[in-house]
Amino acid sequence: MHFFVYICGNKVWFKRMKGRTLNINGQLLSLEQPKVMGILNVTPDSFYESSRKQEEEEIVGQVVRMLSEGADIIDIGACSTRPGAPVISAEEEMDRLRYGLKVLRKVAPTAIVSVDTFRADVARMCVEEYGVAIVNDISGGSFDAAMFPLMARLHIPYILMYMQGSVETMHLQCQYEDVVADTIKKMAVKVDALRNMGVSDIILDPGFGFSKTVEQNYELFAHLDDFQIFEMPILVGISRKSMIWRKLEITPENALNGTTALHMMALDKGTDILRVHDVKEAVETVKLFMSVKKYQQTN
């Protein structure tokens, strides 16, 4: 078990008041029960082929299905960040998102939407033009220096993920002295910077599948509860990822069962948000987890 205290300047990171709510467009979203975030990829090249939705009918169908199955949040992305993926221009990313968000808002005008982007200009457009409520940044502010100041100005929840390298090189950037301690230390620096700028709603994502080997992913997962040291909401995104299908020697298409197994373990380790391709199965997992938790709390 890792025991860790991080000192940043004259500040000691050991404990913070855990935010059990998120400010979503002026309304408080409780995290007392874990939330399910459904993935909407308006891309032609995301790693899981069935998640790719580019035509209006496909987008409508995916949005309606996820909401009917109980998704609390829809996470829309337009630039694939699978290992080695070519990075499209900001203009193309904006064009894809404008199209996808226009379609989404026609069928789900009040849905809670997050945008998966590492570009500040793209995030700003989605928030100001389409009412996106959360920014999900895989780079944790490393790819665009304007991202943190933007979050301070917008005052919306920010998902801070940790990775090393770039989208093109992250599969080569897996060197750590200790993958758990190193990730916590580097996230602590970023959290401190955001707090000093006035950003209050921060969600932490350890970054499974990004700049980590399969075994490093499992080491990080085994110590997922160590991230409770921040006392902030935790998001886990492991749905159908290579840490599952490579370990089981299958394909992403056959990785739902493994995903569900790890989702239950993630919930038991204190995860607040599951980012998933398969909403129905994740919602059922949360429901069963809460049923057990109720009796753990009363006995």
Which uninterrupted H or E stretch holds 222? helix 214-222
DSSP state of 228: G
Strands (E) located in 89-246: 113-116, 134-137, 158-161, 202-205, 235-236
Radius of gyration, CA atoms only, the chain: 18
Residue 40 and residue 74 in contact, taking contact as beta carbons nearer than 8 Å:
yes
Block residue for tokens 């493994």: 258
What is the spatial distance between Cα 227 and Cα 278, in angstroms, rounded to a whole number? 25
* Residue 275 bears catalytic tag: yes
Query: Which one from 35, 102, 241, 269 is the annotated catalytic residue?
Result: 241
- Indicate the length of the chain as a whole number: 299
Catalytic residue among 15, 102, 275, 287: 275
Identity of the residue numbered 84: G
Please tell me the number of Cα atoms within 13 Å of 127 on its side-chain side: 23
Contact 103, 56 (CB under 8 A): yes
Only one residue has tokens 């694939």, namely 80
Number of H helices, E strands in the chain: 9, 12
Max CA pair span of the chain: 56
As a whole number of angstroms, the distance between CA 271 and CA 228 comes to: 9
Is 246 catalytic? The answer is no
Active-site residues: which are they?
A: 241, 275
